[in-house]
């Protein structure tokens, strides 16, 4: 579980952990949806387009956010 679920909360950490773990089924469903419908985008390879750099930046940011969200909702210990 990502530690951000427990930071900044004025409640008991164990109680908060249980509360977040109760979301596990919803997070698993969300993970499936994200993996099926919001796939990582491929790198921009059309260098003839003057805006390819900006397109690549947008792709990188999209992929980074997708990875961050998937990491956040993964509640299993590694």
Q: What is the pLDDT of residues 25-73, one digit of tens each?
A: 999 999 999 999 999 999 999 999 999 999 999 999 999 999 999 999 9
The pTM for the full model equals 0.81
The answer to whether residue 78 sits within a structural domain is: no
Domain count, the chain: 1
The answer to whether residue 53 sits within a structural domain is: yes
Let me know: does 31 contact 75? Beta carbons within 8 Å: no
Query: Quick one: CA torsion of 40, 74, 3, 62, rounded to 10 degrees?
Result: 10
Q: 52-73 and 24-37 are packed helices; what angle lies between their axes, rounded to 10 degrees?
A: 160
DSSP 21-65: HTTHHHHHHHHHHHHHHSPPPPPP--TTSTTHHHHHHHHHHHHHH
Give residue 6's pLDDT band: very low, low, confident or very high (50, 70, 90).
Answer: confident
């Amino acid at each position: 579980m990502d530690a951000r679920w427990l930071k900044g909360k004025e409640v008991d950490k164990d109680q908060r952990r249980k509360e977040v773990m109760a979301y596990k089924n919803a997070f698993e469903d969300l993970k499936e949806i994200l993996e099926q419908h919001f796939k990582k985008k491929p790198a921009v390879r059309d260098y003839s387009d003057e805006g390819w750099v900006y397109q690549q930046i947008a792709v990188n940011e999209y992929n980074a956010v997708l990875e961050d969200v998937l990491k956040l909702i993964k509640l299993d210990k590694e």
